[in-house]
Chains A and B, each alone.
Chain A
Amino acid sequence: MVAKRIIPCLDVKDGRVVKGINFEGIKEVGDAVDMGVQYSKDGADELVYLDISASHEGRRTFVDLVGKIAKGINIPFTVGGGIGSLDDASRLLDAGADKISINSAAIADPSLISKIAGKYGNQFVVVAIDAKCIDGQWMCTTHGGRNLTEVELFSWAKKAQDLGAGEILFTSMDHDGTKAGYACEAYARMCSELSIPVIASGGAGSIKDIVDVLTVGKADAALAASIFHYGEIAIPDLKKAIAAEGISVRL
């Protein structure tokens, strides 16, 4: 049986891992390669690196960094942030990324999913979706949650799957940063409607939150950032707790 995955997410700005407390307060937390190596030693199943640089210079630095990450770590990793074309995806594949995640660009042009998947396979394409619940309806947002779209979450996720996405990384903007638990109900619904893996993101504050999203939420993987970066939850402890619940997990 495929193990449920634990995925630390690292936001990278100009080559360094940072954590934004809010939009103004970005704080540096460490070196991207060193942190990746440490997480893989701790038992992370996969890593996600998101480029949050806004400049072209920052983007170039990120491609170089992806090359270094690929040399340094021996587990799979996904890279995302600002990927808007097949060429962007190709550059990151050549640098050594196992998967890329596309978000706003896929909403603007859904054919980007089939273009990248057609060339490199479905397994290479993660479609990231940031959504929030408005009057009982889950709606997609773009540009880090700043722009609300008229695209409904579940139909978009299904469409992304049909276009060739290999996985969906769904972040609930209502839960992100709250540390009050994941949007379990929404994940359970998405997992029952899709045949591809769903990665849950947004809201992890405790081991129980993660266990819940993997059981009640039926998610295939749980992604979190700050609770891992600041050592609030140690991955070995987390995995032992998940295994103790009878969930298949790599120890």
Chain B
Amino acid sequence: MIAIVDYDAGNIRSVCNALERLGAEYVLTDDPQTIRTADKVILPGVGNAAEAMASLRSKGLCEVIRNRRKPVLGICVGMQIMCRDSEEGNAQCLGIFDSHVRLFEKTPDIKIPHMGWNTIGNFDSKLLKGLPKGTYVYFVHSYYPTLCPDTIATCKHGDTLFSAALKYECFYGTQFHPEKSGDAGEQILKNFLAL
């Protein structure tokens, strides 16, 4: 069974819809026991990292997620709050990935938010299996996770190379939105479900 963490983090509906398109069964829940025992957990997220952390904390879910030994997938802000910390609202995060979340620096040649389809590279992971080189995925974000030993895919916006995907033990995260990334995104979700 798949648990999608329900913690007031924006457009959770689109992750539910993506799983329905794949015919996967899921529950949308904030119940610690369900999240502790689920085969797979997805931590979605759109919005603000500090608020997302506050919401996770108030629901008593931080330790539950950190202590899991079965796959967890964080998406966008859901991934950012699995990093060490975020410049967005100076949030202390879950510290699962050895990455810091920083605001893109404004320069004349880039637009912020980094919004739209961009290519990912250098990936080597079961999560990204079957994706051809130069695959485009859909991003919407103003803050990015820095490169770190957990980086399994990179992306470049302007001069900034950042982590497009991360992995540490059973924890996975994507800065992009697989649920909005067309066929490539569906492949990634299928890969996660097959872990």
B30: interface (CB < 8 Å): no
Interface stretch of the complex, out of B54-62, B78-86, B113-121, B164-172: B113-121
**Chain A residue nearest in CB terms to B136:** A250
Q: Does A2 lie within 8 Å of B182, measured CB to CB?
A: no
Interchain CB contact under 8 A, B138 and A75 = yes
Quick check: which of A51-59, A115-123, A133-141, A173-181 contacts chain B, the rest being far away?
A115-123
Q: Which A residues lie within 8 Å of B177 (CB)?
A: 76
B116 is contacted by which of A3, A40, A121 (Cβ under 8 Å)? A3
- Chain B residues with Cβ below 8 Å from A74 are 18, 21, 179-183, 185-186
Asked whether A8 is an interface residue with its Cβ less than 8 Å from the other chain, the reply is no
Q: CB distance A93 to B11 under 8 Å?
A: yes
* Count of interface residues, chain B, beta-carbon cutoff 8 Å: 37
Interface size class of A (residues with CB under 8 A): 20 to 34
Is the pair A5, B117 in contact by a Cβ cutoff of 8 Å?
yes
Partner of B136, one of A3, A122, A166: A3
Alpha-carbon distance between A167 and B112 when the two chains are bound, in angstroms = 10
- Answer whether residue B90 sits at the interface, using C-beta atoms and an 8 A cutoff: no
A5 CB contacts on chain B under 8 angstroms: 116-117
Q: Give complex CA distance A210, B21 in Å.
A: 32
Contacts of B116 in A (CB 8 A): 2-3, 5, 45, 197, 220-221
Query: In whole angstroms, how far apart are the Cα atoms of A221 and B136 in the complex?
Result: 16
List residues of chain B with CB under 8 Å of any chain A CB: 10-11, 13-14, 17-18, 20-21, 46-48, 106, 111-119, 136, 138-142, 156-157, 177, 179-183, 185-186
Binding site for B on A (CB under 8 A): 1-3, 5, 40, 45, 70-72, 74-76, 93-96, 98, 120-123, 166-167, 195-197, 220-221, 250
Name the 4 nearest CB pairs between A and B, nearest first.
A250-B136, A3-B117, A250-B117, A2-B116
